[in-house]
Amino acid sequence: MFRLEGRVAFLAGAASGIGLAAARGLAAAGAFAICTDLDGDGAGRAAEAVRAEGGAAEAHALDITDAAAVARVFGEAAQKHGRIHVAVSTPAVNIRKRLLDYGEADFEKVLRLNLGGSFHVLQAAGRHMAEHGGGSIVLFSSMRAMTVEPGQSVYAATKAGLIQMARGLAVELGPAGVRVNCIAPGVVETPLTAPIKNRPEWYQAYSARNALGRWAAAEEMAGPVVFLASDAASYVTGTVLFADGGWTAIDGRFAPPV
């Protein structure tokens, strides 16, 4: 149920972190991985890593905030391979500031990538998959869509917005056989979270906050991606898979004696 031989997966943000882990995981399950990223050289290294592990991949430079570029690269990939079966979008940016300290440029930067870029991927993938009778689209939200802390207001809003966009498209394209879902990670060791990891007291506080008592490795997000891409999730759409180590299951940071 989890094998993906004969399928083609388009990945946005594949150069590092969760995107790279997703590319490797999908390729290990048998998919051909199309690795795209704003960092074209990084996308190339991702494709090389996939091939070094026995998988098949190619790479393209892509800025997902550019709607025309997304449509072009996705269209060229679809024409080359005949069909794209899976699309995964991971890019995001987080400017940690309190809401009242946000500038207009800060606000636009976070929305432009986190919501706007994902919107462009949703449109390109959705149009192609609807025309070809099905597919699976996976967006990366966050547990911040449900729980927030000072300095995360705008980032959290975009991650909540992704869930509603995914749900809306799942409803609209369900009759065409297209599934659309979100994964909501907890704290994952990636370039995005490096500023936190580099502060020991902050890193330990986040570790203690979730049920498993630790951060996730980026590779631990590959399994959820493969599941949602595969036939094992054939009746799963319009939902959110929380891969947060139990962060959203815990009520506060105090464990009372029982």
Whether residue 206 lies in the annotated active site: no
* Amino acid letter, 211: A
CA 106/CA 95 separation, integer angstroms: 7
Residues near 186 by Cβ (< 8 Å), separated by ≥ 6? 143, 210, 216, 242, 243, 244, 245, 246, 247
Count of CB atoms situated within 10 Å of the CB of 65: 18
**Alpha carbon of residue 85 to chain centroid:** 16
* Count of beta carbons in the 10 Å neighbourhood of residue 101: 10
Cβ atoms 196, 202 nearer than 8 A? yes
CB 12 within 8 A of CB 38: no
The single residue of 155, 203, 206, 235 carrying the catalytic annotation is: 155
CA 137 to chain CA centroid, Å, is: 10
* CA–CA gap between residue 202 and residue 219 (Å, rounded): 22
Which of 194-231 are b and which e, b meaning 16 or more Cβ less than 10 Å from the residue's Cβ? eeeeeeeeebeebeebbeeeebbebebbbebbbbbbbe
Which structure tokens are listed for 138?
A: 């996976």
66's tokens: 């550019």
Catalytic residues: 155
